[in-house]
Structure 1
Amino acid sequence: MGLHTPSAPAVRTASRGVLLGQRGVSQGAVLALSDILSGVLCIGFTNLVLRFFGKVSINWETILIWLGVWLFWRFYQGLYPGYGKSPQTELRLHTVSTVQVLLVQLAAVLAFDRLAIGVGGVVIAWLLILLLALLVRYGVRSLLIRAGNFGRPVSIIGAGQTASLLIAHLQANPAYGLIPLAAYDDNPVLQGTLLHGVPIRGSIEQALTDPLTEQALISIPSARAETQQKLVNSVYAAFPVTWVVPDLFGIPNQGLLPHNIGSIATLEVRNNLRSRRSKMVKRTMDLLASVLGTLVISPILLAIAIAIKVDSPGPAVYRARRLGRDGKLFDCFKFRSMHRDAEAKLQEVLSTDPQLKAEFEATHKLKDDPRVTRVGNLLRKTSLDEFPQLFNVIVGEMSLVGPRPIVEAEVVKYGEIYTAYKQVRPGMTGYWQANGRSDTSYSERVGMDSFYVTNWTPWLDLVILIQTVRVVLMGKGAY
């Protein structure tokens, strides 16, 4: 790429900063109102619970003050409107802000009982807000996105491979609130073309002299340090908001924390896999959710087992040998979704149909699999066939969330990534299941497993669980 460092424009686009603020305020106000609505509904429900048990009702004046504190704290954390925050970051900020206000109010209950509504009311109200406010926020934002009224346009500086990845991800995940409007590059071959539908309008100089957006995203990580410095300073002078993609590909990014030593910028790279606290939280979540979940859905498990036995001969549950943590083999439980003579059927089909054989060799799956029974087809589409793995989670062989459990023959396809892969337990669901499932290519699945292992946090697990519920309900990519 024939990159040159443009000079900064003489006049900074201050008016665009005003537009940026106005757009952010209006969208942030809608999300803040949704939080207020959630809070009022939760307080009203808490009042009903307190009255039912003969307790003192909530003092609306007091609780509204605490709601104001909560809204201010969320505003300080950047949740209104929350552009550019990953799902796990947003979930973390939502949870932390709500729990912090809960703890502060509980302290007020103990210190000044007249300022609060009682311990029971406080806990009920804020736990309800913790759950409802998140769901309402997701719903309101989804409506804003569908109406084309969420996010701000961004200009992409650089139109190479990195820009292509950025644009594709932002378009596939509009909840980030960053809308690629235009791209710029000094390579004349690229100018006038489209990158995932985004026009490459011209040179970088044009982006600075006639900026179309309030935010710029510099995506030229391979530029030399001196060139990068001049470019960043020039773009920074022309746009109110500037983001820079650093040359840190392959490095875990969920644990990056910025620091400075004097005038030198540094990044801390945290290894969450080494955190005993995080691993303890993960195991606790696994045990609580799997034990309680098994008890709650036990009638469903029994009904599925009966349906399988009625539909075709053979056991209701089968064991599949899979690789677990530290490369140890274990029996992965699943509801049987195939005929008893599945392997013979597979070999017969593969030997007579080269196209299906190529599909199976590429993905280890078949979209129209002749081995699958009628009940099995339903189980796969709804992912109900995975439920027996709750027992694997309880005994510590699997986790609720983790990389995809694989067979020994697949290790060669993971290559060097397998070293990191085997550091964690495989999961009932995972990053790839929540982001495409069987519609993804095998190499994409490996990349998603690698991302999960190197960027794992308990917050990422919670996001994946939420996304999995959505994907399963939609029946997307399952076969």
Structure 2
Amino acid sequence: MARISVPVTATRSALPSPIHTGPIRSGVNLSTPPSNSTSARKVGWEYLAQSIRTSLPLVVIDLLALVVAIAVSRQFLITVLGGAAGMNISVIFPPIAMGFVLIGAELGLYPGIQLSPVEEFRRLIVAATSMFAVWTVAILIVSEVFTVQKGFLALSFLMCATTLVMGRSVARRVLGRCQWWGFPTLVCGDDTRAIEVFEWLRGSPHVGLRPVGVIADPSTLELDGSESWFIGDWSSVRSAAVENKAYWALVIPSEEAHSDITDEVSNCLEILPHVQLISELTGLPDHWGGRRPVDGLDGIHIQQNLMLPGKRAMKRLMDLTVSVSALLALFPVLLAIALAVKLTSRGPIFFGHTRLGLDGRGFKAWKFRTMVVDADKTLEKHLQAHPELRAEWEKDHKLKWDPRITTVGRVFRKLSLDELPQLWNVLCGEMSLVGPRPIVTKEVEKYGDCWGLYTSVKPGITGLWQVSGRNNTTYDERVQLDEYYVRNWSPWLDLYLMIRTVRTVLFAEGAY
């Protein structure tokens, strides 16, 4: 097996540095966002419906396994050992069952595809152990008969561990025969191992990944196009995924790889929310994802959470909750800033600047006005008087000392207070609390091949760039930080960045 290493560009990020999957193009004159640029595939109701169809049978089987285990244990204690049942199980079972399902969902048991038997066994035992631990604590708090209960709990736990594993095994064998269960999957690779993986998946429907065909370079495999399993070359990934309603891809890197592994993976990343690298790779950074065995096929799973409808709904709920709370709590501060702006310089209180957001659509990003009236003319006069500053301006469109900024505006910018009105943009759904920095049309060319990825999410008030040096970073680093955020989003990452933002604002890190 060839060993493939991935070069990583260092950044100022507090998190591991992202992998840049495309070059930063320069010298391109774009007055408007490119209408034909590649954009991320929209994943919505079809994916959600497929997830429900795949998850629901497993939820039902697991709950039946719990019912059988607890009922048998209770009856055994009563009839065989003559012990007391201890409590009315029908009353406590609903919260127990709900707790198990929530823990199982967090552990990835639903929809539970691509899990090896060993990994599924481990997660089932962890879920059952967590559930019984909570149950035991609840009994200790509300009951004085724990001595009667402990035998029942111990027996029920052993029975649950057995019935859950057996139930899952039988359910997978049965569900694997149903065409509506599981996820259509693309197998991508330029050597015969891709064909072997395709055939293995066809014979292993219990895994939950249903292969629809192989994406490969026909010249490399010397194909004539008549092969039933061949559905197109690498340029056909998008059309094949949409046509077959595929949301998974297994990528098998060539043993004789002549290119960076990211070139092969990046063909799938903007199209499919789940990409699994099947290989014995070394040197691949951990932050790409966790290593997961696919029933014997070891690989690295890359899940792009912000392509998934459930994750997007969770992020939107966080945005609404925090933005409404912040607007109410900060109302006196907002009023004080508005008065300061109005009383210290002529002009409007708020300034709306057109930025590019989700799907490349323009919107007005609101700020407290921190610049003088006729700011553009003031800047041009300043650059003419100080030509040595023009290079600094053209590099990042920023100056460490900007003549357009008012005295109070300089303070507000230092503390990022001028951006508080963007909470309204969040409330209206134009922005998110955390996300890539909103950009103007002139900056599109700097994103190059990452433009489609950038426009697949809403821009944020704060983000990875803002807590990683802000204006002290280069634009290439900024693009990579945005790319990392989109590819690795989680609620915990948002929470971490919001907490880091407080520190960044208080110490004015990288602000000018």
TM superposition score normalised by structure 1? 0.50
> Whose relative contact order is higher, 1 or 2, with alpha carbons under 8 Å and at least 6 apart?
2
User: Of Structure 1 and Structure 2, which has the larger fraction of its residues in helix?
Assistant: 1
